[in-house]
Structure 1
Amino acid sequence: MSVLVVGMSHKSAPIDVLERAALDVDATLKLSHLVLDAPFVTESVVISTCNRVEVYVEAERFHGAVEEVSRLLAEHAGLEREDFVRHVYVHFDEAAVAHLFGVASGMDSMILGESQILGQVREALHSAQAESTVGSALNALFQQALRIGKRGHAETGIDRLAPSMVTAGLDAAGAVVDAPDTRFLVAGAGTMASLTVRTLIDRGVDPQRIMIANRTYQRAYNLVATFGVSAVRWQALDVELSAADVLISCTGSNGFVFDSARIAAGAQGRPMSLIDLALPRDIDPAVRELEGVQLIDLIVLSQLQANAELAADVEQVRSIVASEVGTFLAAKAASHITPTVVALRTMATDIVASEQARIESRLPNLTDDERADVRKALHRVAEKLIHSPTVRVQQLVDGPAGLTYADALADLFALDQSAVDAVTQVGDPS
């Protein structure tokens, strides 16, 4: 059994392809179950964010699982096989573990070190737990990834550049965000919208200068109750657009919510900053042609580079990830070895009991003390014979060679390969 990830992100695919592959909550749940139903797959977790879609599975067979997961992703995105393969990546075992740990640490994000991804990884795990698509293997992997993400942010300054995509977008918008009279319109009322409102307020923006618009008014009103901002019904969106200086859109719609004509009517020739945090995009890129309109979308954010002073933090996080990958894999290997060692000790105990019974039947005149001495002697011999091999097996598996248990047995006992194969086939749970 091995961990496998098949994914697509801003590093492997252009925005228009990512838009087609993007998953809403219902689609994410559906995909996770379809993947779990695929041959050779025993667990699944799906991560879907504004710049990545990744499917993690615990698989019995590498090639079969890759084929099935890739087919399901391609079908969802409506991509032909050749187009899909061009933009997808596959990581297996150690590389898959290292990839997830890097993702959770913000090292694979558009904005290096952004912390929002940590919450998204947590949400993916919680969703898989609620849907019962995750088991002990992926649960342990994701729990470790969350701990590593927290550790990276706690021990380094990796998130100084931008703790989230929202912060990065606001920073890119410039001085207008911090001007005392700027009015903000947030389109959407989901997780990203909530994060946007919280970030604005944390930056000192008066909640009364923040307006929320959402198709479902009750969800917008929930933000009113939480943050003290204002809300407007979706039908009045254009009225509020004409009063806003900064529009931040994150609706999760499947098509453009704001085209050039709508933005032009709202701006009315005055300067306006637009921050599009949605995937698929909410704002037509053609609005860049409008005079006085500034558009910051995922393409712009992906082009932002980490400044030089973060180089040491980046290297420190990479070091943390590399170390944790080794620790996780060693623990995983140990978990596979333990049942075999237990079985070996059980077998030795059974042999001791059998030999003791044989001796006692042949020597019926032994005293109780003599029987106890025989029993202790047999146990000491068995323990001494087992101790060194079991310790050596563990060292071989944990060592730099990364030996399998079959390799360890062959190295330890100089066994013929046919003998090793016979042992591992009998004990192989798959």
Structure 2
Amino acid sequence: MSVLVVGLSHRTAPVALLERVSVSGDSLVKLLRDVQQDAHVAEVMVISSCNRVEVYAEVDRFHAAVTSISRLLGAHSGVPVEQLASHLYVHYEDRAVEHLFSVGAGLDSMVVGEGQILGQVRAALKLAQQEGTLGPTLNELVQQSLRVGKRAHTETGIDRVGASLVGVGLTLAERVLGPLPGRRALVVGAGSMSALSAATLQRAGVTDIVVVNRTHDRAVRLAQTVGGRAAPFGDLPAELAEADLVISCTGATDVVLTADMVTPREMFLLDLALPHDVDPAVRRLPGVTLVGLETMQESEAGTGDEGHAEAIAAVRAIVTQEVDAYLSAERAARVTPTVVALRSKAAQVVEAELGRLVSRVPELDGRARDEVAQTVRRVVDKLLHEPTVRVKQLAESPAGDHYAEALRELFNLDPKVPEAVRRIETIDAEPGRNTEPSKKEAGL
């Protein structure tokens, strides 16, 4: 089994296409289940956000799995797979690990270094766990990607490269409106992105913040956190008429802000929703500026500048280090079942020979038999110690699997034994179970 990634992001596809492919709620659950039901897929997780849709899967056949996942993405989005194919990227095995760690570290985001991606990865992990589509391989890989992301933010200045998508949007707003303090801001929605927007506005010096949401209680709670006020959703047109800056990010599937709701005047609207909250026709109104995800994508506002090169280089170094460590540990783990099988065979040989000794020399007393048994076992342990330690070390290299194969061939090990050990380890490594091997399993 190997890890495969099939997806598209702001780097490979226009926002309009991402809108069509993006899935959430019941649609996301259905995609998870449909992918897992494929004969070549053992585990699956999907990251779906405004900037990316990626399917992570553990598969037994590369080409067949890529074809199936691509077909399912097309079927769920309604985009013909032939049209989708030119925007898809595929990463496999080592490259898949590197890609996920880079995503978690914020290197692949539209705004380099933004921390929201960690929450998105965590949400994808939780959903896959709840739906039972995640197994030990992806669980450990994704958990490690979260640790890599936390390390990147803790040990480097990557946060300063681009605090968030909202921060970049406010920078663009200042170019149109001038200084933001003293302006009235309207936040439409009360989810996590809206909360981030309100907090970022407050840090930017905006004190007049209004929150509108379909569920009024949530709007009230969010407004209280930033010293603003909440307004009923029915008052949205009236609040729009008074706002200088509007940030909208709801989970609606249809347009929330129509052109006839907006009064032509100097006004800046930031649409962070996917699908869009704001009718694109708003751009034709005199004095009104509408910035959506595609505008930010084209402006390269989130690429940072040369002053951030050191932080980005530091994060890339962390990702490289963590990828190497993960792959080395994973390769070493692959040889463990073979080592266990070798020691099991040796133990069987020892017990068989001790049995023969007892039958041939029945006059040996118990004390003598115990001494002989201990001596034989020590000899076998010492003979096996060096090759088993060495093969574990060699297994960490890129060609490590070959050493396990050589060990199986040299000692004529039954291939069913390592596979049985591997199945036991897979069960023990399920989320919530103790994954530490016993001393006996570890050959200690």
Paired residue type of 2:399: G
How do 1:350-361 residues align onto structure 2 when only pairs under 5 Å count? 350-361=348-359
2:74 corresponds to 1:74: yes
Equivalent-residue separation in structure 2 for 1:239 and 1:124 (angstroms): 37
2:228 corresponds to 1:229: yes
Cα offset, 1:168, TM superposition: 1.5
Paired residue type of 1:357: G
Equivalent-residue separation in structure 2 for 1:291 and 1:10 (angstroms): 29
**Aligned partner of residue 45 in structure 1, secondary structure:** strand
CA 1:63 to 1:428, structure 2 compared with 1: closer, same or farther past 3 Å?
Answer: farther
Which position in structure 1 is the counterpart of 2:384?
Answer: 386
Which position in structure 2 is the counterpart of 1:322?
Answer: 320
- Aligned with residue 300 of structure 1, among 284, 295, 303: 295
Which position in structure 2 is the counterpart of 1:255?
Answer: 254
Which position in structure 2 is the counterpart of 1:362?
Answer: 360
8 Å CA contact retained: 1:184, 1:247: yes
CA 1:188 to 1:410, structure 2 compared with 1: closer, same or farther past 3 Å?
Answer: closer
Equivalent-residue separation in structure 2 for 1:355 and 1:347 (angstroms): 12
What are the Cα deviations for residues 191-218 of structure 1, in whole angstroms up to 9, with x where unaligned?
Answer: 2111111222233432xx2111223334
Paired residue type of 2:243: A
Cα offset, 1:411, TM superposition: 4.9
Cα offset, 1:19, TM superposition: 0.9
Cα offset, 1:393, TM superposition: 1.7
2:155 corresponds to 1:155: yes
8 Å CA contact retained: 1:116, 1:163: no
Cα offset, 1:250, TM superposition: 0.7
How do 1:31-430 residues align onto structure 2 when only pairs under 5 Å count? 31-174=31-174, 176=177, 178-206=179-207, 209-224=208-223, 226-263=225-262, 265=263, 268-269=264-265, 271-302=266-297, 303-304=300-301, 305-399=303-397, 401-404=398-401, 407-409=402-404, 411=406, 424=415, 427-428=418-419
Cα offset, 1:23, TM superposition: 1.6
What are the Cα deviations for residues 292-317 of structure 1, in whole angstroms up to 9, with x where unaligned?
Answer: 22222212322223100111111111
**Aligned partner of residue 53 in structure 1, secondary structure:** strand
Paired residue type of 1:332: E
Cα offset, 1:177, TM superposition: 7.6
8 Å CA contact retained: 1:111, 1:301: no
CA 1:125 to 1:272, structure 2 compared with 1: closer, same or farther past 3 Å?
Answer: same
Cα offset, 1:378, TM superposition: 1.1
CA 1:218 to 1:137, structure 2 compared with 1: closer, same or farther past 3 Å?
Answer: same
CA 1:366 to 1:255, structure 2 compared with 1: closer, same or farther past 3 Å?
Answer: same
Structure 1 segments unaligned to the other structure (5+ residues): none
Equivalent-residue separation in structure 2 for 1:238 and 1:199 (angstroms): 24
Cα offset, 1:73, TM superposition: 0.9
How many correspondences in the alignment? 417
Equivalent-residue separation in structure 2 for 1:335 and 1:411 (angstroms): 16
Paired residue type of 1:119: G
Cα offset, 1:39, TM superposition: 1.7
- Answer with 91-100 or 333-342: which moved more: 333-342
CA 1:425 to 1:20, structure 2 compared with 1: closer, same or farther past 3 Å?
Answer: same
**Aligned partner of residue 212 in structure 1, secondary structure:** strand
Task: Report the RMSD for the aligned CA atoms in angstroms.
Answer: 2.3
8 Å CA contact retained: 2:219, 2:230: yes
Structure 2 segments unaligned to the other structure (5+ residues): 424-444
Equivalent-residue separation in structure 2 for 1:43 and 1:211 (angstroms): 44
Equivalent-residue separation in structure 1 for 2:347 and 2:418 (angstroms): 19
**Aligned partner of residue 218 in structure 2, secondary structure:** helix
Equivalent-residue separation in structure 1 for 2:415 and 2:179 (angstroms): 66
CA 1:323 to 1:402, structure 2 compared with 1: closer, same or farther past 3 Å?
Answer: farther
Cα offset, 1:64, TM superposition: 2.6
8 Å CA contact retained: 1:187, 1:250: yes
Paired residue type of 2:249: C
Cα offset, 1:223, TM superposition: 2.0
Equivalent-residue separation in structure 1 for 2:219 and 2:359 (angstroms): 84
CA 1:229 to 1:159, structure 2 compared with 1: closer, same or farther past 3 Å?
Answer: same
Taking only the aligned residue pairs, the percentage that are identical comes to 46
8 Å CA contact retained: 1:3, 1:93: yes
**Aligned partner of residue 186 in structure 1, secondary structure:** strand
- Answer with 340-349 or 175-184: which moved more: 175-184
CA 1:39 to 1:228, structure 2 compared with 1: closer, same or farther past 3 Å?
Answer: farther
**Aligned partner of residue 134 in structure 1, secondary structure:** coil
Equivalent-residue separation in structure 2 for 1:276 and 1:413 (angstroms): 59
8 Å CA contact retained: 2:338, 2:408: no
- Answer with 251-260 or 15-24: which moved more: 251-260
Equivalent-residue separation in structure 1 for 2:38 and 2:236 (angstroms): 44
**Aligned partner of residue 295 in structure 1, secondary structure:** strand
8 Å CA contact retained: 1:39, 1:68: no
CA 1:413 to 1:252, structure 2 compared with 1: closer, same or farther past 3 Å?
Answer: closer
8 Å CA contact retained: 1:393, 1:408: yes
Equivalent-residue separation in structure 2 for 1:81 and 1:128 (angstroms): 24
Equivalent-residue separation in structure 1 for 2:339 and 2:136 (angstroms): 21
Cα offset, 1:188, TM superposition: 1.4
**Aligned partner of residue 174 in structure 1, secondary structure:** helix
Q: TM-score normalized by structure 1?
A: 0.90
- Answer with 102-111 or 375-384: which moved more: 375-384
Equivalent-residue separation in structure 2 for 1:158 and 1:184 (angstroms): 28
Equivalent-residue separation in structure 2 for 1:413 and 1:184 (angstroms): 68
Paired residue type of 1:8: L
Cα offset, 1:228, TM superposition: 4.4
Cα offset, 1:390, TM superposition: 1.2
- Answer with 383-392 or 318-327: which moved more: 383-392
Cα offset, 1:50, TM superposition: 1.0
